[in-house]
Structure 1
Amino acid sequence: MSELPERTEALVIGGGVIGTSIACHLAEAGVGTVLLERGTLGSGASGATANVVRTYFPNDARTGGLAARSMAAYHAFAERTGTPLGLQRVGFMVLFTEEEQVAKFRRDHAAQQAAGVDVELVSAAEAARLNPLLDERTILAAAWSPDAFSCDPTAIVRGYAAAAQEAGAVVCTESPVTGIDPDGRVHTPAGSILAENIICAAGPWSETVGDMAGVHLPMTPEPTELLLADPPAVPFTNLPMTLHPTRMRIRAWKDRILVGMGRPRQDESREAWLQRLARQLGTTYPALEGIRLRRGWTGSFDSSKDGTALIGRDPSRPFFYATGFSGTGLCQAPAAGELLRDLYLGK
């Protein structure tokens, strides 16, 4: 952990993919930058993902545009930072079970293409070819986007942090923010630092950080859990990340299947949720019926009211924010860093 300086021009709070991207872009633009992370780098929401970056987001071409911009940056990441991401194409598929879902895709398709998103409508038979575990009789059609890649989120965080430090930024881990004074003095257990500008990229803790500074950030943490299914009896050679309308998503994880479907509802026990997930899994993917689901990992996403990111500046004080990515921060981190840098520099 670096020693906390007495003051800085820009103080970034949060050391996940968003915060390290912002710190890197600011430092490379010549801005004196300090990053504070409450734990270790990437230990928050960035460490509780399915490790996939993609460009297609149903009914959300704006996010798709930022993701497409970010995807280009990820393909150039190793050259820029010296850190390889191990990108491997897996593809991303969204299943449609109702005619209205297909109609919405068609209405949104032109906007997606204009945003630079490569996605097309495929038949149920083609969807089953792309995902051999799928029972094509359970769907009407699917959206298929080849621009989805497995990656290593810790490498993204590590690469951005190293590039930020190379450009002069100071990175302080194990430094949770405990208070923010009206003059911009930020307190941590290791001491305090006077910041001319504060940038909140604290993920699920952003609302708390905002409250300390007297800034309301309308977002709430959303718990999520990912499970690992035992290897299926029917081996698979390829398996894209696949999203069902119930929010159930699966992808290959070595010889296993990674499964997610949010968390139990408020009135639902974990056991009832697991049973509901298992039933849906067995219906959509017959080869996985009755398969054992084991604990994978849990975490919280910083969810905004409408599921899209909040990137901006408070009009009354030098407090910037990039939060509320609702689980899509990994896909947008490079673009978010660029946008926050340009906003900071008045561009």
Structure 2
Amino acid sequence: MQRFDVIVIGSGAFGSSTAFHLAKQGKSVALLDKADIASQTSPRAAGLTGHLRQTEAMTRLSTEALRKIERFSDETGEPIEFYQPGSMSCARRLEDVAVIRERVALGQRLGLSAELISPEEARAKNPFLETKGILAVSYMKRDAYLEPAQLPLGYARAAEKLGAVLMPNTRVLEIVVENGSATRVVTKSRRIRRRCDRGCSWRMGSSRCGSGRCAGPRRANAPSTDDHDASCGGEVQPADDTNS
């Protein structure tokens, strides 16, 4: 049996990162995915990671995301391969020139390596670029690209090393909310014995805990169902139809 402080549903970049950072803080974590761990990150994504966004808040967030990539191996102990050739944005319409200039000004104000370059300089960096009609070009020296699947895979592996439990091919059926808080996650393939806040335990399908000191929500006892408890410390055990 296993008990979890936190259950993370979905093992993409956000889910795996969440599991890793919580495990790093000493939390007991379960990372669930309906498919294999980290398998649903799109292989068609370009993996471009740029600094500049439409707002200052989003630009700061994107900048921190890139820093996380740069520090990924040091932080997680997992390998990652990425490249930082920089990126360019081109404006071919007058109304887009102002957008380019505003974003460069924002980047420079935040201390980023943002600059305006000429179409000829852009062509020198990318010989395939057709410069006819280009009115403005921005260049971000440290923008990067990478294979996106490396991030969730690396975070998941690092989380597992810290004690997180990975549960691939585990489909979530329901998130149970009690008193305004998500307390349990119902999935296929396993059962659970849940501890209440008084330290007693009760079976799925019962209306009260074993001691009779507290009441849990009434639920039908369905075969081949897991009930993972996030906030109260659930104990997960393999499904056993003889105990249904």
Q: Give the TM-score normalised by the residue count of structure 1.
A: 0.51
Is the radius of gyration larger for structure 1 or structure 2?
Answer: 2
Check conservation: 2:104, 2:138, Cα contact below 8 A. Answer: no
Which residue of structure 2 aligns with residue 20 of structure 1?
A: 16
Structure 1 residues 212-291: aligned runs within 5 Å = none
Q: 1:22 Cα shift?
A: 0.9
Which residue of structure 1 aligns with residue 229 of structure 2?
A: 194
Listed one character per residue, the Cα deviations across residues 27-60 of structure 1 (whole Å, up to 9, x for unaligned) are 1011221111121222334543112322233x23
Which residue of structure 2 aligns with residue 84 of structure 1?
A: 79
Q: 1:141 Cα shift?
A: 1.6
Which residue of structure 2 aligns with residue 130 of structure 1?
A: 125
d(CA) in 1 for partners of 2:76, 2:4: 24
Q: Does 1:181 align with 2:180?
A: no
- Aligned length, in residue pairs: 192
Check conservation: 1:27, 1:164, Cα contact below 8 A. Answer: yes
Q: Give the structure with the larger helix fraction.
A: 1
Which residue of structure 1 aligns with residue 236 of structure 2?
A: none
- Return 5+ residue gaps in structure 1 as ranges: 198-347
Which residue of 63, 70, 78 maps to 1:75? 70
Check conservation: 2:78, 2:158, Cα contact below 8 A. Answer: no
Which residue of structure 1 aligns with residue 37 of structure 2?
A: 41
Which residue of structure 2 aligns with residue 159 of structure 1?
A: 154
Q: How many percent of aligned residue pairs carry the same amino acid?
A: 30
- Letter of the 2:35 counterpart: G
Runs of at least 4 residues off by over 4 Å: none
d(CA) in 2 for partners of 1:108, 1:74: 22
Listed one character per residue, the Cα deviations across residues 105-160 of structure 1 (whole Å, up to 9, x for unaligned) are 32343332344432212222222222211110132121111212232322222221
Which residue of structure 2 aligns with residue 345 of structure 1?
A: none
SS in 1 for 2:144: strand
Check conservation: 1:17, 1:46, Cα contact below 8 A. Answer: no
Listed one character per residue, the Cα deviations across residues 305-329 of structure 1 (whole Å, up to 9, x for unaligned) are xxxxxxxxxxxxxxxxxxxxxxxxx
Q: Does 1:141 align with 2:176?
A: no
Check conservation: 1:20, 1:161, Cα contact below 8 A. Answer: yes
- Letter of the 2:151 counterpart: I
d(CA) in 1 for partners of 2:95, 2:74: 44
Q: Give the TM-score normalised by the residue count of structure 2.
A: 0.71
Q: 1:20 Cα shift?
A: 0.7
Check conservation: 1:36, 1:171, Cα contact below 8 A. Answer: yes
- Letter of the 1:49 counterpart: A
- Return 5+ residue gaps in structure 2 as ranges: 190-225, 233-244
Task: Give the aligned CA root-mean-square deviation in angstroms.
Answer: 2.1
d(CA) in 1 for partners of 2:7, 2:44: 25
Check conservation: 1:64, 1:117, Cα contact below 8 A. Answer: no
Which residue of structure 2 aligns with residue 337 of structure 1?
A: none
d(CA) in 2 for partners of 1:174, 1:48: 22
